Structure 1
């Protein structure tokens, strides 16, 4: 039984190292691109989805409150990724606590 728990903890640690590593690599790419000519050009056509996306990106949340980058899309992407990481962390903690009982 103890071998199975050790394998689960090893897989969990390995998965978290990969997840955090990807997050850090993406952040380094964002830092390198932010404020340069390499920023993506978001199409502002008359499409409803494009208008909705522009409305989200131009909201105060991504232009004034959460602003590690000058490009709002990077701020939105980082926020969504951090929220996903927090949800994943809570799920893993709950599974570890419930599996010990």
Structure 2
């Protein structure tokens, strides 16, 4: 598949993520069920591992509405991204999946 350079303003949405390989077809999203100031080191390690493994973006999402909207905005702004890997603990209070 042909790879292209993302727009100079990519990624357009700010958030808790690390930018990796812009030509990668994958983003890694870790579900966060804690406050931002109480993020365990294991979650931070998972985010770093995503980028070290070659992901375009790797980060956490805390809110099911705005957080997902920001992820989608960043993903569609890079035509190389095709897959999102979602992992992490179940968020309390939500009936997901």
Q: TM-score, normalization: structure 1?
A: 0.23
Structure in which a larger fraction of residues adopt strand: 2
Q: Which has the larger radius of gyration?
A: 1
With a CA cutoff of 8 Å and minimum separation of 6, indicate the structure with the bigger relative contact order.
2
Structure in which a larger fraction of residues adopt helix: 1
